[in-house]
Structure 1
Amino acid sequence: MGEASTDGRKLKGERRKKELIEATIRVVARDGVAGVSHRAVSKEAGQPPTSAAYHFKAIDDLLTAALTSCMDQDAEGIRQLTDASGGGAQGVRALAARMVAAVAEAAHLQAEFELYLLAACRPELRDPPRRWLAAIEHFGRHYTDDPVRLRILAGTIDGMLMQALVTGEPPTSTEWEAVLRTILVPAE
């Protein structure tokens, strides 16, 4: 077999793994972490029943991959937003809009939080949430170097997202902006 066919198989395998990770997130959103099994994830991904077990030997491997995917995508989105906005009112508006969009995908956000909380019980899963928090801090540093304000920023974002899920009353973009400005822009 030539190099091209090997590369093709590798690409197909990577695509299948990505589909399985996305399917894991959908299963967690629908059935919770307890609903994740190799069979359920393979079925959700539209792949053969043994596919998830082939690519991810243990359920923990699936959950770790799903958590890593969610947190890294979110962190990268915040970093891109930060780099594009460079601070100021535009950055606050952009972050507010991103948070409104996150809440609009409630099932996905719920799955992310369930996976996020899994890291509280499993120290080996804490690096992906730390990358998310670091991205939030990076955003905040465009406005303040006060470590207390930066800590409040991360806690407030997580808290408001969670409250939106629990109450079913998501903050508007205007509400997000007001909260973010209060945290990030020192009173004069």
Structure 2
Amino acid sequence: MKRLDRRYPKGELRRRALIEATLRVIERDGVSGVSHRTVSQEAGLPTSSTTYYFTGLGDLLAAALTCVMDEDSERMRRLSSGGDRRRELAELLARVAAEPGRLLAEYELFLLAARRPHLREATDRWLVAVSAFARCYTDDPVRARVVVAMIDGFLLQTLLSENKPTADEVEALLSVVLPGPLPDR
């Protein structure tokens, strides 16, 4: 777990610890492995803490999904801040693919949103952020959708492969779908 800012109130630190523990449980056991007991044990907190901070497992899973989608969306927004950032995105995607545990947890939660429409607000933020990155390179809405599909498809495929791509390989893929940045962006 990454170091948390100690200025947060104790409750927010515990809530965040439970979310991080949920992600680790999903990495290890899948969404079906999430229970009040497994999450609280993973977090090193009493079992009652999950029901204190979350109304139920659905709320906990929604919080975990929202957390990862917000983090991922923010990374994409930073990459959309101008200039040719394809190499930076390629390096990020290669790093993510090289350590697939968290990615697997994220996609399990992402797919959970396919069954639970109320969770799609979080996944929509990710899709909008990737699309915004693509629009730095193209005005074509179809090409922007291809980029979104390519990135998600690429990440899913890396979960099925023992051979993880290099940043150079990812950059080559991005260069095919995004030939270059648009002027003044």
Asked if Structure 1 and Structure 2 have the same fold, meaning a TM-score greater than 0.5 normalized by the shorter chain, the answer is yes
In structure 2, what residue type is equivalent to 1:50? S
Q: Measure the CA separation in 2 of the matches of 1:108 and 1:125.
A: 19
- Contact kept? 1:87, 1:143, Cα under 8 Å: no
1:107 is matched with which residue: 85, 91, 101?
A: 101
In structure 2, what residue type is equivalent to 1:102? V
1:68 is aligned to 66
Unaligned 5+ runs, structure 2 = 1-5, 181-185
Q: Deviations over 1:96-133 (max 9, x none)?
A: 01101111221100000000000111100101111001
**Map of 1:45-56 to 2, 5 A cutoff?**
45-56=43-54
Q: Measure the CA separation in 1 of the matches of 2:29 and 2:107.
A: 13
Q: CA RMSD in A?
A: 1.6
Offset of residue 53 of structure 1: 1.3
Match of 1:170, SS? coil
Offset of residue 72 of structure 1: 0.6
Unaligned 5+ runs, structure 1 = 1-7
1:123 is matched with which residue: 103, 117, 127?
A: 117
**Map of 1:73-88 to 2, 5 A cutoff?**
73-83=71-81, 86-88=82-84
Q: Measure the CA separation in 2 of the matches of 1:101 and 1:127.
A: 26
Q: Percent identity over the alignment? A: 51
| Higher normalized helix content (fraction of residues) | 1
Q: Measure the CA separation in 1 of the matches of 2:17 and 2:45.
A: 9
Q: Deviations over 1:66-85 (max 9, x none)?
A: 000011100001111222xx
When Rg is computed on C-alpha atoms for both structures, the one with the higher figure is: 1
In structure 2, what residue type is equivalent to 1:145? D
1:173 is matched with which residue: 153, 157, 167?
A: 167
TM-score (norm: length of structure 1): 0.89
In structure 1, what residue type is equivalent to 2:126? W
Aligned length: 175
Tell me whether 1:38 sits opposite 2:36 in the alignment.
yes
